[in-house]
Structure 1
Amino acid sequence: MLTSAGMVPLMLAIPSFAVAEETGGVSSWARGEMYEKVVHAFEPIVSLVQEFSYPIGLVVMLGGGLFVMIGNRDKGFSLIQQARIGYILVQSLPMLMDMLVEIAKSI
């Protein structure tokens, strides 16, 4: 068997296994690091939806205004109200979800 001075034959290598020092090591990792990775993975999607909520809400409100002008007041005001509520929800839901996660972590 040809080996160089710096190489150790594979049969002589002793495998080492990492052992968790505490019992809840995996669960704390799953709660902490895994949560952060998932949240950071979805941040671009959430910000994209938030950026598109303004122009979409504006178009729907303008459409509602046109309905009011042509005589269908109920449908027009309904569109404006739904666009308003939708915009507020899209802008505030990430903050509310962060608050719920912090509450769940403290329990």
Structure 2
Amino acid sequence: MFYSVALPSFPRFGREKVEVIPWRDFFDEMGSALTTRQKRKLSALLAGVTTAYVLRLEHAEAASGIADRIIRAFDPLIEVAQGVSYPVAFLMICGGFLLIMVGQRSKGLAFLKWAAIGYVGMQFAPAIMQILVSVGKAMVTPRP
């Protein structure tokens, strides 16, 4: 069993140097590669990481409740953006047809295409975000 320690690297090389220390060196007092100060730092680091992990597990549900409240707070803005997308898409479609009428067919079709894509995208954006949030929650939720 080995434990690796990342050492600071020089910016010009672009890689981190890794020193591999045998696991038994942490527990054997005789011939240890680590000084007493390094062992204290390592044990403090491991204790801090363990504590952070335990606290994260305990407060995962509380954090998701806060996240849900924040998401619900933005619902009026989402509804405004969806409501504005209809008149903007309507004006762009009308402009696209006007461009077709004056002979600029390719530019008019591009206006029509992007107006339709933009409107549909604005209507589906909240559903896409809900999917992404559920995927994020599934990644954070610990498995038994």
Amino acid at match of 2:125: L
Q: Comparing both structures, which one devotes a greater share of its residues to strand? A: 2
Counterpart position of 2:66: 34
- Deviation of the 1:61 alpha carbon: 0.3
**Identical counterparts, % of pairs:** 31
Amino acid at match of 2:122: V
Counterpart of 2:133 (choices 98, 101, 105) is: 101
How does the TM-score come out when normalised to structure 2? 0.55
Deviations 1:31-55 (A, max 9, x none): x112111101110000111111111
State how many pairs are aligned.
85
Mapped partners of 1:79, 1:48: distance in 2: 23
Structure 1: tracts of 5 or more residues without a match: 1-21
With a CA cutoff of 8 Å and minimum separation of 6, indicate the structure with the bigger relative contact order.
1
CA root-mean-square deviation: 1.4
Mapped partners of 2:70, 2:100: distance in 1: 44
How does the TM-score come out when normalised to structure 1? 0.73
Counterpart of 2:58 (choices 18, 21, 25) is: 25
